[in-house]
Structure 1
Amino acid sequence: MLNPPYPTISSFGYEIIRDHILSSILGKHEEDVLYWAGKELARKFPCKSQEELIAFFADACWGTLELIKETKDGRIFQLTNDPELLLVGHRCFRLEAGFIAEQIQQAKGYLTECYDEKQVKQEHVMFTVKWDVKERIMNTIPTE
């Protein structure tokens, strides 16, 4: 068997960076910075459909993202991940929320925000996405 052309990072290594180093560096600004980092990441890795968004989460090992509900001005997604990440209680999911918000903002062409809520007992995170049809984003070509 051939070695991969690049080393892979273990989930433990990712956890160290995401849950300990970043929170230590960012301190009280962690949630805000991660949200905006997620938005920037979405601009670098645009998803052209909801299916691509869901696939990105799987490819990035962020967990299993599932659309639960859709309304005229929003969506609710559920993220299932390693239950230990929720039980420990220190991981915030603002990076993922920012990523979702920007992907949907680009798809819809309206100002969009996403709020995350850990549901520890159910072992998942809920993302509530809302867009404002009165706030068109310039320089976007909606795909939905």
Structure 2
Amino acid sequence: MAKSDYTTLLNLPGSVSFFALTAMRDLMLPNMLGEEQHNILYWAGRDLAAKLPVDETAIPQLFTQVGFGALTPLKQKRQERQYLLAGDVVATRIRTYEDPDFQLEAGFLAQALQQVLGFAVEGGSAIQRREQNVVLTVVMDNQDTQPRAEHLIDLETDHQPTKK
């Protein structure tokens, strides 16, 4: 960013309407991105998470702050984890749009985990229409080491980066 950093954006006053965000996300982007929408949004989510590194315990709070919805851990196995993504924003997108895409959130979660765990993480999303939520699944490869984030944003203390 040219004049500020991403932590500054987390502190901006005001709010954006839910309609404005979902209109861009679910009406405009699919037309612009076409068949590559899912892949592009997944990698866009990874790129965004790389700019907002937080400790693993703060990932659910960051999901809420960026407007993705409420993230809750569901299941954890040795190399796989599942999370529930729910809330008004998720349910409304599922009810309102024929093909809402949650790959942005899957990519965001994968990268957020990868940069704190230090090994490769890939993610995917599965919409549960009846329950009006999404299950995000991440698969981890602890044999494939990846760089850890050097500085983590502390969401509890004015969003200032802390050295890990």
Letter in 2 for 1:17: M
Gaps of 5+ in 1: none
Greater displacement, 36-45 / 76-85: 76-85
Instruction: Summarize deviations over 1:64-97 as a string: whole Å, max 9, x none.
Output: 1100111221211000033231133321000000
For residue 132 of structure 1, what is the aligned residue in structure 2?
A: 141
| CA distance in 2 between partners of 1:15 and 1:76 (Å) | 25
Tell me the residue number matched to 2:26: 19
CA distance in 2: counterparts of 1:53 and 1:73, whole angstroms: 18
Aligned partners of 1:141 and 1:41: how far apart in 2?
13
Q: Secondary structure at the match of 2:16?
A: coil
RMSD, aligned α-carbons: 2.0
Alignment match, 2:122: 113
3-state SS of paired residue (1:46): coil
CA drift of 1:115 comes to: 1.0
- Give distance in 2, aligned partners of 1:78 and 1:7: 28
Which amino acid counterpart does residue 115 of structure 2 have in structure 1? Q
1:56 corresponds to which residue?
62
1:76 matches 2:86:
no
State the distance in 2 between where 1:58 and 1:140 align.
Answer: 23
TM-score, normalization by structure 2: 0.77
Aligned CA distance change for structure 1 residues 29 and 135 (closer, same or farther; 3 Å): same
SS at match of 1:67: strand
Partner of residue 39, structure 2:
32
- Match of residue 41 from structure 1: 48
Identity of aligned residues (%): 28
Residue aligning to 1:86: 94
Contact 2:56 2:113 in 1 (8 A): no
